[in-house]
Structure 1
Amino acid sequence: MKEIKDIIAAQQQATLAGKKTALATVVQVEGSSYRRPGARMLVTEDGVLTGAISGGCLEGDALRKSLLAITEQRKKIVVYDTTDEDDARFGVQLGCNGIVYILFEPIDPADPGNPVALLTLLQAQRQAMVLCTLFSMDQQAVQPGTQFLYGGCSALTRSGLWLEEHGSTALVAAVEQTWATQTSSFEQIKLGDMDFTAFIEVIPPAIALYVFGAGNDAIPLSGIADILGWEVYVADGRRTHVTAERFPKASGLILQKAADVLEGIQFDQRTAAVLMTHNYNYDIEVLRQLADTSCPYIGVLGPKTKLQRMLDELSAAGQFIPPMAMERVYSPVGLDLGAETSEEIALSITAEIKAVMSGRRAASLREKIQPIHS
């Protein structure tokens, strides 16, 4: 989502400056590559790049292809075959031994359904959305490109009548199936007498991180989370600590006593909470309330003895936290990275949150037998 946010901002700046742009999207990969389908890069007519479609080795040639798409105002697919030795001579060798399909789409700001406009609509939703992109493996064929955004109840279709003209029943059915499984997919779709591949991408909302505690150690945690593109909210009962000067990149600041601090917060499966007020009474009250929410990650700063003391006190007060709720509590918080400083601790916490949200058990990739991207 960070990449999408940056692309939206870059497009807005380009539109204000009257600059033409094109969006390059990785739509399919065969074998290995640095970026996977869904990676995006916005290119302005004066050569400014936002986002990335590779580790840097494709960007130079992709810039030239993007400028051509802007000049011709035509969508096109380009195939980079890193298994072909000729690619090395053109300076685009990835060293990944894969085939990468890149879709280039010129952006028309006047079209409310252009690809970046759909990304903007997607960003505004606090739920997973499905983005559908149609392309042909035949580089000479028409490339429909990014078509519509689907959110379970409604489809926001691109302006223009391409889908309406060619029929979309099979495509919509495939999108609805992808929405039901919440797993991105590729489908072979026949529209009229034309064959296309549909890249049906599930894009989850950004992680929302609620940091309960506005001490100095919360500052690097907020900063790292912002770099990752997360929505960061900082809550504390101290007026002197919950300030925009201390947390300039926070999405929201919550000045509230512990008993009322969760009022108005909507927890979903992409929400994480970290308790680090260094105020035992504040932390235990917030933990009591969080246990009754659906928040999938509740981190508690401090040793296991602190958490156990909290649980004992809550139990003695008749507020027993059931085992299923305890599975969502992480204390001591963070991955075992040998962290000592507040910055290192912030890194370990964000890494653990990312692993939990991705359904992964953090380990060195060299220990992984299967491909990195399953």
Structure 2
Amino acid sequence: MENIYDILTLLKCSKPKAVLATIIEVEGSSYRKEGTSMLLLENGEKAGVLSAGCLEEDLFQRAADFFGTSKSATFTFNMKSEDDLLWGTGAGCNGIIHVLVQGIDEKLRKHLLTLGEFLKHGKTVTVVKKITHDLRVSHYLFISEDEYVFGEWEGAVSPNVKKLMLYGKEKSGVAFFNEHASYVYVHCFYPKPRLLLFGGGEDAIPLARLAAQTGFSVTVTDWRRSYCHREAFPLADELIVSFPHEVINKMTIQPKDFVVILTHNFQRDQEILSLLGKKQLQYVGLLGSANRTKRLFEGREVPPYIYSPVGLSIGAEGPEEIAVSIVAQLVQQQRLAVRESRTSA
């Protein structure tokens, strides 16, 4: 999912000078799409990827002049060229990629860290960058979903641009705005989707790990302390040792949250479903067969947001493979939710 979190983590704890590289336009096919970013540090460290290793080394060389400055430029990588196997079909790509490189000065660093705080608190943030005729950034602006504005922007923001920032764009990329007589690059940053796991058994361990590595904020809860501890779930954002009714009544559960129930206890599962029935949720996955789910609902209609058996049907066996099938379904549903939110705005 969004690699901005790895970028912001490295930026926050690093002292070396840094450069932000972003794919702003793709012609044809590429490994990553518009909106993908990468952080390059002067000491060689990096966060995020723009390709399958095809252009990163060359990009680092080009970025040398940008460290410690506020300069920017756009570089074009023609992956269709057959002159060199690294850049041609031997690289497995068949597109032209336009990468915007920005030196991170103190102002931009401050604004990127502010972006991180909004994402941390569950707020969606959109960035607009005004692109000059020579493909540099002249101004940029961030706006949160609750209309907090920050950045470096001269003059008024046109109503059309502000509307685009507030209600999103179906696809990240560059568009021309007559009001500003220039192109602007637009990208929407989404907070990490939250995954709440009820049950901390052996099958929850690889699920929590893979979900966290895929970009979810993971909370694991179990009423048994021996099942819910940091050694088993090192990547979880939160561990809660408590009974289901205590967790659900105290937590602020949002409609866009994801839940997977895997307590292996029929009565506990029924209790959790009953408590969650009062909430609006994006996704609830139930471990077990469809017949077991029918028994859990005692003949009542199963809501459409209940996924049972949980996970995509890939013939998964064992905790690791089941975790792969579940996380694949979580990513699928998250992508659909983002797409629907954009088109309905």
TM-score (norm 2): 0.88
1:183-225 CA-to-partner distances (Å, cap 9, x unmatched) read 3454213577xx4321221222212110000111111111101
What CA distance in whole angstroms lies between the structure 1 residues aligned with 2:23 and 2:255?
Answer: 27
Structure 1 residues 53 and 181, CA, compared in 2 at 3 Å: closer, same or farther? closer
Aligned residues of 2:194 and 2:217 also touching (Cα < 8 A): yes
* 1:148 maps to which of 135, 141, 159: 141
Amino acid at match of 2:147: S
Amino acid at match of 2:27: E
What CA distance in whole angstroms lies between the structure 2 residues aligned with 1:214 and 1:21?
Answer: 40
Are residues 1:63 and 2:54 paired? no
What CA distance in whole angstroms lies between the structure 2 residues aligned with 1:269 and 1:63?
Answer: 41
Structure 1 residues 112 and 358, CA, compared in 2 at 3 Å: closer, same or farther? closer
1:28-53 CA-to-partner distances (Å, cap 9, x unmatched) read 11221111111111111122221111
- Give 1:4 shift: 1.2
What CA distance in whole angstroms lies between the structure 1 residues aligned with 2:169 and 2:123?
Answer: 11
1:252-289 CA-to-partner distances (Å, cap 9, x unmatched) read 11122122221232333431101101111111110112
What CA distance in whole angstroms lies between the structure 2 residues aligned with 1:135 and 1:56?
Answer: 27
What CA distance in whole angstroms lies between the structure 2 residues aligned with 1:95 and 1:82?
Answer: 9
Deviates more, 1:266-275 or 1:341-350: 266-275
What CA distance in whole angstroms lies between the structure 2 residues aligned with 1:268 and 1:138?
Answer: 44
Are residues 1:251 and 2:203 paired? no
- Counterpart position of 1:183: 170
- Counterpart position of 1:275: 261
- Counterpart position of 1:330: 307
Aligned residues of 2:256 and 2:282 also touching (Cα < 8 A): yes
* 1:111 maps to which of 88, 91, 107: 107
User: Percent of aligned positions with the same letter in both sequences?
Assistant: 28
- Counterpart position of 1:353: 330
Deviates more, 1:350-359 or 1:115-124: 115-124
> What is the RMSD of the two structures over their aligned residues, measured on CA atoms?
2.4
- Counterpart position of 2:50: 53
SS of match in other structure, 1:262: helix
What CA distance in whole angstroms lies between the structure 2 residues aligned with 1:130 and 1:269?
Answer: 21
- Give 1:135 shift: 2.2
- Counterpart position of 2:318: 341
- Give 1:112 shift: 6.0
Structure 1 residues 82 and 249, CA, compared in 2 at 3 Å: closer, same or farther? closer
What CA distance in whole angstroms lies between the structure 1 residues aligned with 2:267 and 2:283?
Answer: 20
Report runs of 4+ in structure 1 exceeding 6 Å deviation.
Answer: none
Gaps of 5+ in 2: 338-345
Structure 1 residues 336 and 214, CA, compared in 2 at 3 Å: closer, same or farther? same
Amino acid at match of 1:347: V
SS of match in other structure, 1:347: helix
Amino acid at match of 1:6: D
What CA distance in whole angstroms lies between the structure 2 residues aligned with 1:287 and 1:310?
Answer: 8
Aligned residues of 1:236 and 1:254 also touching (Cα < 8 A): yes
- Give 1:178 shift: 4.6
What CA distance in whole angstroms lies between the structure 2 residues aligned with 1:32 and 1:44?
Answer: 28
Aligned residues of 1:132 and 1:198 also touching (Cα < 8 A): yes
What CA distance in whole angstroms lies between the structure 2 residues aligned with 1:169 and 1:275?
Answer: 46
- Give 1:177 shift: 3.0
1:103-144 CA-to-partner distances (Å, cap 9, x unmatched) read 111112x326656335423422313221222324634xx422
Gaps of 5+ in 1: 361-374
